[in-house]
Amino acid sequence: MKHVVIVGGGFAGLNCARKLASHPDIRVTLIDKNNFQQFQPLLYQVATAVLAPSNAAFSLRNVLQRHSNVDVKLGEVVAVDPKTRTAETAEGQKYQGDYLVLAAGSQANFFGTPGADKHTYPLYSLHDAELLRSRILAVLESADRDPSLIAKGALNFVIVGAGPTGAEMSGTLGGMTQRMFKDLYKDLDLSKAQIFLVDHGHSVLSAFSQKSQEYALSMLKQLGVQVRLGTAAKEVAPDHVLLSDGTKILTRTVIWAGGLKASLLSSNVGVAPGHGGRLDVQPDFSVKDSPGVYALGDFANIAGADGKPLPQLASVAEQSGKWCAKNIAAVIAGEPENSHLDFYERSEHSRRTAETRNRPMRHYH
C-alpha cells in the first residue's frame, strides 16, 4: 500500500486527502497545526460577529472519519526533506511517504511596511478573525463610554488591500455602521464612523473581471466606504496610518488584507522558493527535481493557461487538491496523468462562478 503524506488541511490539502481516500490501496496521513479546517471566505463574518467561530471551522477528523485509510495528525510541520519525502513537526515527529504533498497555506505579507506587523489586524485565520472581532467591539465600547475618543480615530477603520478579503470586510463594516451598530449603540454618534479601503493598485478586486470590479466599487461607495486606490500604506502606528500620498488617518484599528505569502515552512523545504515565497510547480503540481513531491494551493505558484500564476482563491486550491490526487492515483496505478488543461478550465470556471455568486457586500446591499 502506497503512503501519501499531506502537509496542511486547508482547501487544497483536505480535498486532496478526500479524493485519495476513495482508493483503498492508498494510505494517507494528513498533518495540520490545527485539528480543523477554517473556511477563509467566511472569516470577515466572524470578525464582524455575524457568525460564530464554530460556523467557519470544521473538524478534520469529523470530515474524514468514514475513511479508514486516512489518518489525521495534529502538529506543525517545520521542516521537509524532499529527497526522502519526509515531513518533521515542531515536536520532533517525522512522517515519511512514497509521495509528499505540501499544502501548508499562507501568511500575511506586510511587504516591509513599517509597523504593519505590530499594529495591524490580519484576517487570514480563525484566530485572526477572533482577535479582530474583539478589537472592533472594544473600540466601539470605548467610544460609547468616552465620546472624546471619536476625535482621536476610535471610529475610523482602515482596511489595507482591496482584494476579496478587503472588499468584503470594508463593505460589511460600512453596512453595519449604517444599520446594525446604530441599533446596538444608541448613544454613539456613528455618523462620525469612517471606513477607508486603501490599495496601491488601481482597481478593487483586481483578479476579477472589469464588470465585477465596477460593481464592487459602486457598492462600496453606496455603503459609505472611502476607497483610496493608487495609494499604499506607508507606515502604521498604534494611533494612525500614514499613506503614500502624505495623508494621515487617525485610527485605532487597521485591518491588513494587503497580500499573502507562503507559510514559514517554504523557507525550510530544501527547494528554492519562487514569487511570494511559494514553490513553483509543473503542470501536474509536482516540484521540479523532487520526484514524488507536490505543492498546492497558496503554497504553490500554479501557472494558468496563459502562463500567469492563478490567484490565491479557495476555488483554485480546491481544484488543485482534487487534480493532484487524481495524478498521484494515476501514477500509482501506472496510468497516464490527467491533463492540466482540464484543471485550468475548471479553475477558470470556478473563478467566474465566484464572481457571480460571491460578490462583495452581498449581505448589505
Rg, Å, the chain Cα set? 22
Strand partners, 2: 26
CA atoms within 13 A on the CB side of 33: 17
With CA atoms as reference, report the closest residue to 36 among 8, 59, 61: 59
CA atoms within 13 A on the CB side of 110: 16
Rounded to whole angstroms, the Cα distance separating 252 from 80 reads 40
Helix, coil or strand: residue 198:
strand
Rounded to whole angstroms, the Cα distance separating 21 from 173 reads 41
Looking up cell 465620546, which residue turns up? 147
- Which residues 6+ apart lie within 8 Å of 146 measured at CB? none
Rounded to whole angstroms, the Cα distance separating 45 from 356 reads 19
- The question of whether 318 is a catalytic residue gets the answer no
Phi, psi of 138 (to 5 degrees): -65, -45
3-state secondary structure 236-255: ECCCEEEECCCCEEECCEEE
Rounded to whole angstroms, the Cα distance separating 254 from 239 reads 9
User: Which helix (DSSP H) or strand (DSSP E) does residue 106 occupy?
Assistant: strand 106-108
Catalytic residue among 76, 88, 91, 168: 168
Q: Which residues are catalytic?
A: 168
